[in-house]
Structure 1
Amino acid sequence: MQKKRWATSVAIILILTLVIGGPGWYQSAFADVSSNPGSVDDPLVTKGYVDSTVSKLVQEELEKLGPSSSGSTKLETVTVPLGTKLIVEDGGEIIIRTGKAIAYSSDANGLSDMTDGLDIKPGKAIGNNHLILNPRGERGVEADPKQTKGLIVLVRGAYKLK
Structure 2
Amino acid sequence: MKNKKMIKMKILSAFLVLAIGIGAGSILNTPADGAGTTPGTTDDPVVTKSYVDQQIQQALNGGGGATSPTQPSQGADEVKNVALKPGKILIADAGTEFIVRSGNAVIYTEVSSGVADLTDGKDLLNGQAAPKNHLLSFPREGRGIQVKEGQTSNLIVMVRGGYTIK
Indicate the TM-score class for this superposition, using the shorter chain for normalisation: 0.5 to 0.7
Paired letter, 1:118: K
Aligned to 1:130: 134
Q: Give the counterpart of 1:99 among 88, 95, 103.
A: 103
Identity of aligned residues (%): 36
- Whole-Å Cα distance in 2 between the matches of residues 58 and 74 of structure 1? 15
Paired letter, 1:138: G
SS of the residue 2:112 aligns to: coil
Q: Give the counterpart of 1:140 among 133, 141, 144.
A: 144
- Whole-Å Cα distance in 2 between the matches of residues 137 and 56 of structure 1? 27
Aligned 8 A contact 2:103 2:147 in 1: yes
Does 2:83 correspond to 1:88?
no
1:143-162 map, 5 Å? 143-162=147-166
Paired letter, 1:94: F
- Classify 1:138/1:62 alpha carbon distance in 2 versus 1 (closer, same or farther; 3 Å): farther
1:7-156 map, 5 Å? 58-60=62-64, 72-156=76-160
Deviations, residues 35-92 of structure 1 (Å, cap 9, x unaligned): xxxxxxxxxxxxxxxxxxxx599313898xxx66xx6321100000000000010000
Once the 2 structures are TM-superposed, how far is the Cα of residue 148 of structure 1 from its aligned partner?
1.8
Paired letter, 1:153: V
User: Gaps spanning 5+ residues in structure 1: where?
Assistant: 1-54
Once the 2 structures are TM-superposed, how far is the Cα of residue 106 of structure 1 from its aligned partner?
1.5
User: Gaps spanning 5+ residues in structure 2: where?
Assistant: 1-58, 68-72
Aligned 8 A contact 2:78 2:160 in 1: yes
Paired letter, 1:129: N
- Classify 1:60/1:97 alpha carbon distance in 2 versus 1 (closer, same or farther; 3 Å): same
TM-score by length of 2: 0.56
- Classify 1:72/1:62 alpha carbon distance in 2 versus 1 (closer, same or farther; 3 Å): farther
Choose between structure 1 and 2: higher helix proportion.
1
TM-score by length of 1: 0.58
Highest CA radius of gyration, 1 or 2? Answer: 1
- Whole-Å Cα distance in 2 between the matches of residues 120 and 56 of structure 1? 33
